[in-house]
Homo-oligomer: A and B are copies of this chain.
């Protein structure tokens, strides 16, 4: 099938770009001895995850239990779930998943560790890493001392194994994260609890992740597809972006305005990464600005464009943030050039729990 036959809006994945993006990252990882454990949130497709593992990834990362279950169903066997899993229902599901695959989770509080400790026994123990807030200001213990205290609580539980440290570094703060983790590593060694794994992540810093770092494992996500945000942060160019949203021009109300059939429901509303503007890059009209999204429409400012599209014409839009686009669509089209290889259902889309 030719891509012209795909109705809109629809997500197209350029497989040549996917393979180039994966190969480039894996080559860097191999050259620097830094194992990759890709975050699957960007594609949410077991087949892409299997491709990442076949290239050399040591396993995958999922952010939600439901995503991890879907990936296990899809044949993935080594899963890191860096999340505080709380509550009886989720702990039961976690125990079932721990019986099926090689699994590790995180904790950043005594309450979370206590929940794991009460649910898991030494016959089928759970590996737990301590999440560290190295400056990003989300979850995570705040000090090396807190990391040691939590590691001790984990190590003391018969059904838990202390697996090391995990962080998501602050934007532009890899050195800061590294210093934080070094201090915690030293403190853990002094406490007799050397961390087996020190896990960091983020596509923007992927190609320098091995530089003088204590990181033993790296979790890039968006690198497989890339997007405007990654390009704005210095990771590759727009020509590396593998995910586009195919759209139709449904209206040309004025000479300077076009309206596409891709609103926030198809393109996601994440703001433009500076210095870029608008809600996406229109490949065929690079000077156009996607200036506003409502749920079902994108309003495009054509005032800087020489050529302008007609009603009914289709275009392809590189989104600001690929991962959130994936989460809005039930299927994607895998393409090579202008040919569709096939349609893939996004089996772990919308797995919120």
Q: How far is the CA of A9 from the CA of B299 in the complex (A)?
A: 32
A254-273 toward B: CB 8 Å interface, digit per residue (1/0)? 10010100001110111000
A78-113 toward B: CB 8 Å interface, digit per residue (1/0)? 000001101101100000000000000000110110
A41-56 toward B: CB 8 Å interface, digit per residue (1/0)? 1000000000000000
Q: How far is the CB of A309 from chain B (nearest CB, A)?
A: 12
CB-based contact B269/A269 at 8 Å: yes
Instruction: Determine which of B87, B254, B257 lies in contact with A7 in the assembled complex, contact meaning CB atoms within 8 Å.
Output: B87
Interface size class of A (residues with CB under 8 A): 35 or more
A251 located at the interface, meaning its Cβ lies under 8 Å from any Cβ of chain B in the complex: yes
Residues of B within 8 A of A186 (CB): none
Given A299-B138, A311-B112, A9 contacting B294 (CB threshold 8 A): no
A214 located at the interface, meaning its Cβ lies under 8 Å from any Cβ of chain B in the complex: no
Q: List residues of A whose CB falls within 8 A of some B CB.
A: 7-10, 41, 63-64, 83-84, 86-87, 89-90, 108-109, 111-112, 115, 133, 137-142, 248, 250-254, 257, 259, 264-266, 268-270, 292, 294-297, 299, 310-312, 323-324, 327-330, 350, 352-353
> Could you list 24 A-B pairs, sorted by A, with CB under 8 Å?
A7-B90, A7-B353, A8-B87, A9-B352, A41-B295, A86-B248, A86-B312, A87-B248, A109-B311, A111-B312, A112-B311, A133-B253, A138-B259, A139-B253, A141-B253, A142-B253, A264-B324, A265-B352, A266-B352, A269-B269, A269-B270, A269-B324, A295-B323, A328-B328
Q: How many copies does the complex hold?
A: 2
Main secondary structure of the interface of A (DSSP, over half): loop
Q: How far is the CA of A72 from the CA of B174 in the complex (A)?
A: 53
Q: How far is the CA of A253 from the CA of B146 in the complex (A)?
A: 10
> Nearest residue in B to A67 (C-beta to C-beta)?
B296
Q: How far is the CA of A283 from the CA of B90 in the complex (A)?
A: 24
CB-based contact A327/B328 at 8 Å: yes
Q: How far is the CA of A252 from the CA of B217 in the complex (A)?
A: 26
CB-based contact A294/B8 at 8 Å: no
> Nearest residue in B to A294 (C-beta to C-beta)?
B138
Residues of B within 8 A of A109 (CB): 251-252, 311
Residues of B within 8 A of A87 (CB): 7-8, 248, 312
Instruction: Determine which of B8, B84, B296, B353 lies in contact with A251 in the assembled complex, contact meaning CB atoms within 8 Å.
Output: B84
CB-based contact A9/B353 at 8 Å: yes
Given A139-B253, A142-B253, A329 contacting B311 (CB threshold 8 A): no
Q: How far is the CA of A90 from the CA of B312 in the complex (A)?
A: 12
Given A87-B248, A312-B87, A353 contacting B295 (CB threshold 8 A): no
Residues of B within 8 A of A329 (CB): 350, 352
